Amino acid sequence: MNLVLLLESDRVAGPRFALEGARAKHVLDVLRLGVGGRFRVGLLGGGQGEAVLVEISERALVIECQLEEEVEARVPTDLLLAIPRPKSLKKLLPEVAALGVDQLHLFRSWRVDPAYLEVKLLERELYEPLLHLGLMQARSTQSPAVEVHPLFRPFVEDRLPSLMRPTTRAFVAHPAAEARVADLTLGAEEHVMLAVGPEGGFLPYEIDRLSERGFLPVSMGARPLRVETACVALLAQISLLRQRA
């Protein structure tokens, strides 16, 4: 944990927050702090700063925080991800939050197993803590907003147009695509939408529907990577393209 993430629900009063569970254990066992010890904190969706440990009880730690008013900018990248198998999703959520994604749209495509839509991990109480782990790793307070879309066509035809901005650069990752991610240029602040397919890949029909909406098929090379590897590699390459702008 490079930052201890605070939630509004942890607030006791004013600058005082109570920490329980894994975060309290981290402060005591990993940072090895006692009363008076200082460490880095950030309020979910808000500023970062320093906390002082003021009280240790059996139930919780009480900390007093000084948070900066300035809030980091959200990364202007939205990830549209065909719902992966639960094991992959569990690994991927912290990585997505750590790499920086503004909106995460989990959608069903033809090769998504319908059973994946029923998994508990698609419920906020279960996916949020995994996103928070990624934020604490990457020292960020900006969590991706998550939406789940149970049907491909309504998602593409009805929801996508309202998510796209006039200047959005939209890409669909596809190993067989002619255009290469490596050849793209991207402005640091440009809004990007990136669609990633399921383990079995997109159907040609799905690639066509996304292309009609302005998504350019792009490849990182002919090797089809596992979904969790592909997402991390693609987000890292987009970040690199932004940095080179």
Binding mask 159-198 for ligand SAM (x = CB under 6 A): --------------xxx--------------------xx-
Q: What is the rounded distance in angstroms from the CA atom of residue 104 to the CA atom of residue 6?
A: 22
According to the binding rule CB under 6 A, does residue 201 interact with ligand SAM?
yes
Q: What is the rounded distance in angstroms from the CA atom of residue 226 to the CA atom of residue 92?
A: 11
Q: How far is the CB of 177 from ligand SAM (least distance, A)?
A: 7
**According to CB under 6 A, which residues from 221 to 240 bind ligand SAM?**
221, 223-227, 230
Q: How far is the CB of 135 from ligand SAM (least distance, A)?
A: 24
Beta carbon nearer to ligand SAM, 131 or 218: 218
* 68: phi then psi, degrees, rounded to nearest 5: -70, 150
Q: How far is the CB of 29 from ligand SAM (least distance, A)?
A: 38
Q: What is the rounded distance in angstroms from the CA atom of residue 214 to the CA atom of residue 141?
A: 31
Longest CA span, the chain:
61
According to the binding rule CB under 6 A, does residue 199 interact with ligand SAM?
yes
Number of helices (H) and strands (E) in the chain: give both, helices first.
7, 13
| Eight-class DSSP state of 5 | E
Give the footprint of ligand SAM on this chain (CB under 6 A): 173-175, 196-197, 199, 201-202, 219-221, 223-227, 230
